[in-house]
Amino acid sequence: MVLFANGEAGAARVLTARLLPRALRHATRVLGNASEAEDVAQEAMLRLWRAASDWQADGPARPATWLYKVTANLAVDRLRLRKRSVPLEAAPEPEDETPGPAAAMDDATRRAALDAALQTLPERQRQAVVLRHLEGLSNPDIAAVLDISVEAVESLTSRGRRALAAVLVGQKEALGYDE
Amino acid sequence: MTSEKDTDGLAAFFDAANRDAGPGDDLMARVLADAAAVQAEAARAPMPEPARPGLLQTLGGWITVSGLAAACAAGVAIGVSLPSAVSAGFDGSLGAILTGQEAVGFAGFDAVSFVDGGVIE
């Protein structure tokens, strides 16, 4: 971050490669809309660039955690602007999948099912589940991102995971999940 | 990416989500363009202006000004003291009044100009 703030051109590329995928994954799973997720991820990165010059040596120890927090807040803003009944534009219809490797089709179908199930969760549960089980953040880190207690995170992730399982387990066989 | 025991069968869904394609080239390009714009803006930010030579430098620096200040104070002190003390002490002892200061710079100055607060050029 210091190198970026000092004008190093290569620093932006390294930071983008490292951080943009996280912001995009997080936004995609929370919003269930690829286009909106890209907008949110781009905006989050822009705020990172602008904040970098103020950080220098006094910035947050982990910019990734800061970025997740910004992404979470931007996603919440987006969610408040639209109805919950908006169909998932990022979820392809399984029967419309073009011929391709079987594994890729299964992955796409599972992602679509997961996205649909995530959208049934309350926003806080969804954020917590995405950050815990998809982004791999620790509970203390999630608490910092969502500005809640660690106990609240544990409650949200466990309830969210149970709710997801209730929605998805019944669809396992139909989705080709045969582990 | 969950490290918990997968007793509910969700691991396959999470793994599939994590195998999702990352940001496309278009998004990467937009983000990098934003970064370049922010860096360019920061580079164009006006630098703090160097301090202009102020009255301090014009007067010859702190040593001269502090001596001037002491001389002014001395002049005030002389002015409020008995006139005889002024005339008797001016020529040689003005330097003694400027304790701790280099008096040579003031030797040629007219005491009246100090008392009057004349401008030193």
pLDDT tens across A68-91, in order? Answer: 999 999 999 999 887 655 555 544
Q: Which of the pair, B32 or B82, is modelled with greater confidence?
A: B32
How do residues B6-40 score in pLDDT, each as one tens digit?
678 899 899 999 988 899 999 999 999 999 999 88
Q: Judge if ipTM > 0.85.
A: no
Task: Give pairs for A148-154: CB < 8 Å, separation 24+.
Answer: A148/A124, A153/A128
B19 close to A (CB below 8 A): yes
Query: What is the pLDDT at residue A56?
Result: 60
Residues 21-40 of B with CB under 8 A from A: 22-23, 27-28, 30-32, 34-36, 38-39
For residue A4, the model assigns a pLDDT of 76
Q: Find the CB nearest B35 among A16, A28, A172.
A: A16
Question: Contact, A131 vs A142, CB < 8 A?
Answer: yes
Per-residue pLDDT of A3-23, as tens digits, reads 777 777 788 999 999 999 999
Tell me which amino acid residue A16 is.
T
Query: How many Å lie between the alpha carbon of B51 and the closest alpha carbon of chain A?
Result: 24
Q: How many H helices and E strands in chain B?
A: 7, 0
Give the pTM: 0.64
Task: Pick the closest to residue A114 from A67, A161, A60 (CA basis).
Answer: A161
**Residue B7: closest C-alpha in chain A:** A165
DSSP H/E element including A76: helix A63-81
